[in-house]
Amino acid sequence: MADFRQDWFMFLLGGLLMAFVIAQSLFFLTRAWKHGRKLGISTATLRSTVTSSVLFTIAPSMAIAATVLALSNALGIVLPWMRLSIIGNFSYEATAATAAMDALSHTGGINTPVTDAATFSGIAWVMTIGSVFPLILLPLILKKIQSKVAKSANTNAKWTDLMSAAAFIGLIAAFVARAVAGTGEADKAGDGAGILSVLTLLTAIVSLLLMEWIVEKRGWKSLQPFVMPASMFLAMGAAVLFAFILPDHLAALEWRS
């Protein structure tokens, strides 16, 4: 039976979307280059700017690729590929997909393939609609938000930093808790929380801390953006490695909350 998540129509849709994105990027790049030449900026400077911009996108692209791979098991490769090529990041896409899966009674979370077309459609709609509202609201309210944030930062910078850090830590804690505890019933596939998920989590944490320490110790500030995506790829590789080297009864060992 063909996999509807990545049949020819899905790839055609993804290809058309990518063609539009690339065409749009080339259009604005060409316009910017011509405008720069009109302003008297040298060709060497323009080339240097383009080169540095390309290099700067490598690290974020690694994180995007890791997110596509993380979601591909459940949603196929095409939908995450289209989503992450336009808008979104791991924290949003995974949270929206997981919330939709829970609401639609899909057991297994992002570790289990979505085989029901209606469920797949519902998940895609939740992921899409959730990212549309900011595009509508931000042009209307961003200026007011920025003025409030700037005022708060000027009067109480420590409190602003604390709230931002708390929000980020809370988001990460939710993913950590799911990897450790999981959900579901004993006789059904849950989120796969068990030996493998915890070892993968620990690998990601240790890799991140170790690379952060090396970058800080060696003063390699230019490598800082690569630390998080690299730790994600190392954790994925570790998960595959542990699945091969651990005895079957340990690799398959899971627990439920």
Q: What does the pLDDT read at residue 156?
A: 66
User: 3-state SS of the chain?
Assistant: CCCHHHCHHHHHHHHHHHHHHHHHHHHHHHHHHHHHHHCCCCHHHHHHHHHHHHHHCHHHHHHHHHHHHHHHHHHCCHHHHHHHHHCCCHHHHHHHHHHHHHHCCCCCHHHCCCCCHHHHHHHHHHHHHHHHHHHHHHHHHHHHHHHHHHHHHHHCHHHHHHHHHHHHHHHHHHHHHHHHHCCCCCCCCCCCCEHHHHHHHHHHHHHHHHHHHHHHHHCCHHHHHHHHHHHHHHHHHHHHHHHHHCCHHHHCCECCC
**Phi (first) and psi of residue 190, to 5 degrees:** -105, -140
What pLDDT score does 226 carry?
75
Q: What is the pLDDT of residue 30?
A: 92
Which pLDDT score is estimated for 137? 83
* pLDDT block averages, 10 residues each, the chain of length 257: 78 91 92 91 85 72 80 89 83 84 83 88 90 83 76 67 76 74 52 77 89 87 75 83 83 67
pLDDT, position 188 = 47
Q: What is the dihedral of CA 42, 47, 53, 55, to 10 degrees?
A: -150
pLDDT for residue 186: 41
What residue type is 115 in one-letter code? T
Q: Where are the domains of the chain?
A: 1-129, 156-257
pLDDT of residue 257: 46
What's the pLDDT score for residue 31? 94
pTM, 2 dp: 0.61
CA nearest to 254, candidates 109, 101, 123: 109
Is the distance from CB of 254 to CB of 190 less than 8 angstroms? yes
